[in-house]
Amino acid sequence: MIEVSIIGGSGYAGGELLRLLLLHPEIKVKQVTSRKFAERAVFLVHPNLRRITDLKFTDPQKMEPCDLLVIAIPNTKSMGMMEGFMKLAPKIIDLGADFRIHSQKDFEMWYKMDHEKPALLNQFVYGLPEIHREKIKKTNFVACPGCEATVSILTLYPLVKEGLINLAKIIIDAKMGSSQAGLQPTSSSHHAERSGVVRSYKPSGHRHTVEIQQELNFGKQPQIMISATAIEMVRGLLVTVHTEVCEEISEKDIWKAYRKYYGQEPFIKIIKERQGNYRYPEPKILVGTNYCDIGFELDKENNRLVLIGAIDNLMKGTAGSALQCINLMFGWKESLGLEFPGLHPV
């Protein structure tokens, strides 16, 4: 059994990971930090954990060494503290954006700030197990992907890898639940402003663009264009990806590509049914699960391929993938603690 601590455990991502870790048979949660809630019971912030744990939040200044440290603090906050974190644990998983981008230049262009520890960038493996499983097994440092990047990369990866789609124009329409914005309230998340919206909040220039381009660059960088829309949903993320096929292909060719790369993947399902309400991926039925559902529709008349991907942004988009990486780093069954199949109806 290993001891795991969480830096920044009062947010949605930290709380979701805590829920998973508390029930994991090979893990003991040692400490969970929060400046605001130090010395208060974690279930006061995460009421779903009432009677599951008697842990109290720890002040970050009182952290003790552990076997693995998970960092769940806002983007750009961990890089300046990373060397200190590395003294606390031999293995680290960062849920933020600070070490996802391999190129210092790209990070600084997209995040509009200098990277404080560029020498550490190449020490972190991009934490998407379906693509970097063997690297994750061998590394001590993982940078988990952004939630929108996770579902977009997984949806596109086999088709880009097989050269089936035109890399010159890939348009991603992403619809986001409110938990994607995090715990800290803003004027736009106020109920009177958020309720009932279909709000286009980032028609272009989404930061996850650089992650997707990085992970789908196999000698030629794809041109990724993202439009992000906030909708009235707490958990969940749906991407509809509009692409052009490179040559005349059939649905069989698309199935073949997905099966080649994902046929043995424990958390990816290809969803394309001929009947029923859930003929294509739907984030609602993925709430609380670590699955990524992928579907597609081939429009032969217009030489177009529409791809559809869905995840729970707090699970496969954050905490679930983090635990998947932990299982790989310590040589356990990859699906350990992540087997929950979801609920219906919800």
Sheet holding 292-299, edge to edge: 198-202, 224-231, 170-176, 237-244, 304-311, 292-299, 268-270
How far is Cα 86 from Cα 140, in angstroms, rounded to an integer?
A: 10
CA distances from 268 to 252, 263, 299, 340 (A): 18, 8, 24, 14
pLDDT, residue 5, reads: 98
pLDDT, residue 194, reads: 80
Considering the chain, tell me which residue range(s) the CATH 3.30.360.10 domain(s) occupy.
148-313
| Domain boundaries 148-313, corresponding CATH code | 3.30.360.10
Match domain 2-123 to its CATH number in 1.10.10.10, 3.40.50.720, 2.60.40.790, 3.30.70.100: 3.40.50.720
pLDDT, residue 131, reads: 97
The burial of 31, by beta-carbon neighbours within 10 Å (0-12 exposed, 13-18 middle, 19 or more buried), is given as buried
What does the pLDDT profile of the chain (346 residues) look like in tens digits?
A: 999 999 999 999 999 999 999 999 999 999 999 999 999 999 999 999 999 999 999 999 999 999 999 999 999 999 999 999 999 999 999 999 999 999 999 999 999 999 999 999 999 999 999 999 999 999 999 999 999 999 999 999 999 999 999 999 899 999 998 877 776 777 777 788 888 889 898 899 999 999 999 999 999 999 999 999 999 888 999 999 999 999 889 999 999 999 999 999 999 999 999 898 999 999 999 999 999 999 999 998 899 999 999 999 999 999 999 999 999 999 999 999 999 999 999 8
Considering the chain, tell me which residue range(s) the CATH 3.40.50.720 domain(s) occupy.
2-123
pTM higher than the cut 0.85: yes
Length of the chain: 346
pLDDT, residue 202, reads: 87
pLDDT, residue 188, reads: 76
Mind telling me the catalytic residues? 147
pLDDT, residue 197, reads: 85
